[in-house]
Every structure is written in structure tokens, then in C-alpha cells.
Structure 1
């Protein structure tokens, strides 16, 4: 039976400012009401499979857990990578975990940030791949190309095998425009999708043969597992010794068992805003408009506004993205260069690279409304039954004003309850906690004042979410 493995790492820098380091594209609802991770999990419906296994970065663990919970998937496990080491180690962790928990399962490895227009066609190919994997094949899916694309790697088909598959003749890197046109004309080249189906033991055998250093590091990391809520933590020190490598370079390009199955299912990896524009519904002028947008004499553009009115007049082929703290304006043909903006912001140590103004936490979220040299104002939302850590601050005092709901506040072992329009003051160094004991969301305004207002001025004494 299939064991789905969902790769939910990655940063999605080409979709900044929507996608950011601490809230990347796989957790965003870019092509529907659900996030891309949720849509990936929903594509499994109708397939016979075991509980999915999600691989994600440490800093995204609560995002992944909450989105899985929203789908009602109670048995899914989440393996946490202390740091990214590319796809070959990530799949190795999944294969080892599957062997330990489920025996020699057949892994279906999928990225969490892809889109498929035809789920039925995808599932048919998955069933074919599962049968091939039972024979020992290392199966990947090749997307039937629709244009001479330079943004994808390619797979050349070799001789035909059973169940609609072909031996892999070779993998090729992203080509220039001339080579891409030649591949399209040849008819035996497919886009490399990054989807795989193989037995867990088979992958580990191949990895041990071709990259024993990765295999050994991942085995060592998985020997010291620490269960933590919905998460599986691995040995950080052991995983630090693991080389970073893609599954293509580490295994698929070396093995003689590689098989590719052509797939035509409306696939898109949403690698940038131009790709996002392609897959979304458009108006009569070819525009994709999200949020409060008014267009006049505007054509073939993507305009997205998160919190304010955006109006356009007399423009064409633009991408305009407005968030609470950043605005991007780019020509649609140049959106792959957005990653260069992100690199420039990183060099300036700008927080907008990693954080939105609205930041999600396991207990809820906060929105940084205003700030100055010695003050900061946040709107805090706490989920019913949730509690912030018991903590203190060395450099700031806080004033909380309840807007809606009921707050249970503890300050130096003294408990009190606050409701709408009531407030409380927390002095510097006071040990305090905030909890929502009610059935509806708690919303409050927090005013911080002091000489230092950074998020690292938090000393936690107790935390139900396992944060340090």
C-alpha cells in the first residue's frame, strides 16, 4: 500500500512578498481556498494509502500541524528537519521512518507546492507507478511538455517497459531556449516533475550504494528520535553531518532502475508569479485580481491586495502585489528575478524576508500595528483554549487591553480574568501568562514599552508547545 510522503520544505522566494521564510508558499492558499499543502493531501482522496508522512522544517512545524488538523487527518506524522539538506536526505528520513513504522512501504514522494488541474489523471499514473515499484523500479513522473520551457529540467525517454513506463535515457539540466525547442520537437523529452514512487527499502539500497555518506548520516539521525506532540524530532548533531544533495543527483541519475511515466494532468510548480497568473481564473481582459482591486484599461496582469485598495490605469503585463508591509511591482516576464530582491533584502538584514507583519504562532497570531524607538503596538488573537508561554522580559513592560473575548491573566502567581474594555499592566521582569479560557477567539491590543523590544527578549519558564 502507498505511503504518501509530502515534502513541505522550501522557501518560495520567487513569490515574495506573499511567500516568506517563516510562511512559504506551500502554506499559502494561492490557487483555491485551501493551502497548497492541504490541496496536496486532498489529492490522495480516492487512492488506497497509509497515513501521510510530512517532512518540514523546524520553524514551520506548527503551520504544518494546524493545516493538517484542519483537514481532520489525525494519524499523519511530521518529521522535522533541523535544517534543510535538500531532497535526497529528506526522502531518506521518510524511508527510514516508514520502514520503522509501516514495514517496507511503497513511497509516493510529492512536493507540497505543486498544482494539478486533472487529479484523476494523476491518480491513474500513481497506480501505474505503484505496480512498477513492486518490480523494483525507481519511478519518476515526466510532465508532457506544452512549450519550450527553460525553467525546468528534462528527462529523456528510453525504451518502453510495462505499465506505461519508459527506461530513463538521461536527465538533463535546465536548457537554454534553443535546446528547449529541440527537446520539444524531438518528442521524447519530458519535464522533470520531482515526483517519485519506489519501495522504501529500494531507495535506501540505492542511496547506500551511491551516496553512503548521506545514508549513514540519516540512519544516525533517525536512531535518536524524540516524539514531540505531532512531531518526530531527529538527532540534530547527526543530521548536521549530512551532505546537502538532491535526489536526482544522489540516486536517480546514477541508478539503472530509473523509470519515467509520462503525465499530462495540468501540472504547474507555481515557481513564480507568471506561473501563478497562468493557473488562476482571469477576467475578459486577462487580469487576475485578488482582494480590493479596481482596474481600468489594464490587461494580462496579476494584481493582489491583502489590505487596501489597489487601482490600476493603462498598464499591461504587470504583477502588482500589496501586503501589509510591502509592495511588489514587476513586469510579468521578469518575475523570476524577484529572488534577487529577496537576496538584496537578506543582505540588509530586513525582517520582511522572513516575516509578514501578521505572524502566526501555535496559540494564534499577532499583527504588529505600529512601532517606534521605545514602543510597539500589536493586535493579538488567541485561539479558544490556547495559552501563551509562562514568560518574562528583561527590557520591556506590557499593557494589555481586551477588545473581545475573555482573557485569563497570570502575573507573579496572581490570576485574574479580563473581558471587553478591561486592561492590565505587566511590569518589567514580572512572570506572566495569557490564556483564552473561552469558546471564542480572544482579541487584545498589546502596547510594549522599553529600551529593547525584540522577540528574543522572552525568557520562557513553561510552554505547552515545547518551545525553548
Structure 2
């Protein structure tokens, strides 16, 4: 059976302000009911698959766990990299984990942040790829190009390889991002595909090719997976070992060197959603060419993309704009200049501002914290705690806390006293008191938390006991 390996790392800035360093685009609901990570996994429904194995970095562990829990796909199946080392080592970790469990599955390697609108076509390509992967090939999925694109690498196909009804081609070469004239010649030739970064092969086959061409990468990955901490819900890779692993992509490390690479063409309305204009391209539009999401009013407006999280956005007499409204930032950009959004992010970094890094809302292992008001002497948080969630048993040296229950039931522990609070009830936590909060109910607990004191930093959380291994 096929094991989906979902690559969910990265912290791109091209979709700011919705995409942030600590909450990149793969976790956003940009093109459907679910986040892009969730859509990537749910898109596989209809093909016989195992539970997915997700690979990401340490900072995103709680949001990934929550998103997998929401679609009933959480099963200690998240590999956490302490540092990014590109795709060749990441895939090696997944292959080693699978082989270490006494198996040699087909790995279907997918990025967590792609859009594929023609799901049935994608499924058929997976079925075709399975034949070639079972025959010992390393399969890559090449996107049938629709126009000369300078933002993608290309794959030049060679001779045909047919297995029954399937049709694939030997990979002649991989090509870096070309200029427009060269890209146009590639498209006109009919012999080139866009490089999607999606693959299928046997786990042991990939490891054998990695041993042949990059044994240094394989050795560090073997050491890393052997020393991994598999407690709690995650497979945590040790930093002191993995940080010594060379940084290389699967293309450079294996696919450009192996004699067994084949490419299968995929024409499934694919996009890597690399900019706001690219998202407009794949979005449903009204009769005026507008893609409008959220509370939006548009009069005499054409060819715009608007995404509003909360507030009403009204547009009058404008054309070709992308307008993105979040709880703490608004972006207005001409769709022809979306590549310059990264300049905003560079400015925010240089000024030491937090808007490049994180949203007002922050994911925690127990749920979500929305920082409604922040002041040097007090902070007001809206807390949403999932059923079964729990704060650490903790204390503070510099702040008091006041909890007001909005909905649900809270179990409060203060020193040796335990009591329940329900809607419209509250409690006060003095400085130095050991305390915790749990959600014993079946529905989310929502409450306001008012922190007040001379110092409100997270390092004033003195954890005594913790369900999530943070002590």
C-alpha cells in the first residue's frame, strides 16, 4: 500500500500577511474548506493509502497536530526536524522510519501547499506511477505547462517507457528556472514539463540511490532516526545529529544522477500558489473576474482578489488589485507586482516587528490563543481550549491572571483545591500560586484571560507538570 509523505516545512513570505514565518501558507485555508495541508491529505481519498506521514519543523508541531486531529489523521505520524536540511534528508527520514518498521512501502512524496483541482486526473496519475515505481523506477510527476513560466524549474523528457497501458518517459535532464524566451521554446517543443516536486518510489530504492550518490546524507539520517524521541504525538529528530547533515534537494542529490528516473505527465489544473496572483488564477471568480472571500462589497470592480478575515472590505472603481485583510495587517498590491510583497517582509524584519513572524492568534498544544489587547502592563487573551486540553501546572513570579468563562466548562486547580467554572463565572490567580486549567467537557472551552503585572513574558511561566513534555 502507498505511504503518503507530506512535506510541510518552509516559511515562505510571498503570501504575507496571511502567511507568516510561524504560520506559513500550508496551514492556511486559501482554496477550499480546509487548510492546504488538510486538502493535500483529503485529496488522496479514493486511492488506497496508508495514514500520511507529515514532515515539518519543530516550531509548527502543534498546528500540524491540531489540523491532523480535525480530519482524523493524527496517529503519531509527524516527524519534526530541528533544522531545515532540504528535501533529500527529509525524505530519507521518512523512508528509514518505514523500513525500520519492517516494511518497504511505495512512498508518494507530496508538498503540503499545492492546489490540484482535477482530483480524478491526479488519482489516475498515481495509479500509473505505481506501476513504474514497482518496476524499480523513481517517478517524478511533471506538470504539463500551460504557458511559458520563469518561476518553475523544468524537466526534459527522453525516450518513452511503456508498461502495459501506462506511458512514462525517461528523464533526460532537469533544468533550472529559465528566462522567458527559453521557457517559451520549452513549451512550444512539447518535450518539457514543469517540475512539481512530487515523487513516487519504493523506500528501499530511494535509500539505495541515496547510498550510491550521497552516502554522507544517508549516514546522518540513519543516526538521526535511530536517536529520535518518539514520545508524545511526535517523532522528534535530535538537533545535535541532524544539524550536521548536508543540505541538499532530492533533485540534486538523487534524481539528476540516477539512471532510473522517469517522468509522468500530469495535466490536473495544478498550482504551487506562489503568489496572490497565482491564487487568483485558480480561484472561482464572479462575472467581473473578481475572487472575493470574506465580508466584501465591490462596486465597479474588475479582476481583483480580496480575502478578509474579519472586517468589512469595500472596493469602488478599482482593477487588478490583491487586497488581504488580517486581524493585524492589511496588504494592497497590484497583481502585476505581487513578487515585491517580500520587500514588505524584509522591512518588517529590519524594524524588528512581529507581523512578519506570527499572527495575533497563536496555536498551542491545548488550542488557540488570540491576543486581543497587548500593553506593557496588561494583556487580554481570548482562549479556545479543545476538549481534553490542559494548561501546564504552573506559577508566575510577576503577574496575576483573571479568567472569565465565555462558554464550556473549566476545571481549575489552585494549589490543592480543584473546582469547576461555567459560563459567566470567573476566578483570580494571585502571583506565586500554583495553578492549572483543564477542559473536561465535550465542547471547546472559550474564555478571556487578563494578565496584569510588571513583567508579562512567556519565560515567567514556571512549569511544574505538563502533558505535552514542555517542562
- Give the TM-score range, shorter chain: over 0.9
Contact 1:393 1:457 in 2 (8 A): yes
Distance 1:76 1:50 in 2: 13
1:166, distance to aligned residue in structure 2 (A): 0.8
TM-score by length of 1: 0.96
Deviates more, 1:219-228 or 1:348-357: 348-357
Match of 1:272 among 253, 271, 275: 275
Contact 1:54 1:76 in 2 (8 A): no
State the match for 1:222 in structure 2. Answer: 225
1:302-344 CA-partner distances (Å, limit 9, x unpaired) = 1111111111111111111010001111111111222232232
Distance 2:74 2:319 in 1: 46
Distance 2:429 2:193 in 1: 61
Unaligned runs of 5+ in 1: none
Distance 1:190 1:398 in 2: 58
State the match for 2:386 in structure 1. Answer: 383
1:202, distance to aligned residue in structure 2 (A): 1.3
State the match for 1:191 in structure 2. Answer: 194
Distance 2:173 2:270 in 1: 21
1:373-416 CA-partner distances (Å, limit 9, x unpaired) = 21111111222232111112222221222222222222222223
Deviates more, 1:267-276 or 1:59-68: 59-68
* SS at 1:45 equivalent: coil
Contact 1:52 1:76 in 2 (8 A): no
1:206-244 CA-partner distances (Å, limit 9, x unpaired) = 112222221111110011122223321222211111122
Match of 1:358 among 357, 361, 373: 361
State the match for 1:37 in structure 2. Answer: 37
1:293-442 alignment to 2 at 5 Å?
293-442=296-445
Deviates more, 1:147-156 or 1:14-23: 14-23
TM-score by length of 2: 0.96
Unaligned runs of 5+ in 2: none
State the match for 2:470 in structure 1. Answer: 467
1:102, distance to aligned residue in structure 2 (A): 4.8
Distance 2:440 2:360 in 1: 26
* SS at 2:97 equivalent: helix
1:74, distance to aligned residue in structure 2 (A): 5.4
State the match for 1:58 in structure 2. Answer: 58
1:66, distance to aligned residue in structure 2 (A): 2.1
Distance 1:18 1:440 in 2: 28
1:234-249 alignment to 2 at 5 Å?
234-249=237-252
1:76, distance to aligned residue in structure 2 (A): 6.3
* Alignment size in residue pairs: 468
Contact 2:309 2:325 in 1 (8 A): yes
Distance 1:427 1:264 in 2: 62
Contact 1:221 1:234 in 2 (8 A): yes
1:455, distance to aligned residue in structure 2 (A): 2.4
Structure 1 residues 419, 75: closer, same or farther in 2, change over 3 A? Answer: closer
Distance 2:449 2:74 in 1: 34
Distance 1:44 1:75 in 2: 17
Distance 1:66 1:270 in 2: 23
State the match for 2:72 in structure 1. Answer: 72
Contact 1:220 1:235 in 2 (8 A): no
1:166-185 alignment to 2 at 5 Å?
166-185=169-188
Deviates more, 1:327-336 or 1:72-81: 72-81
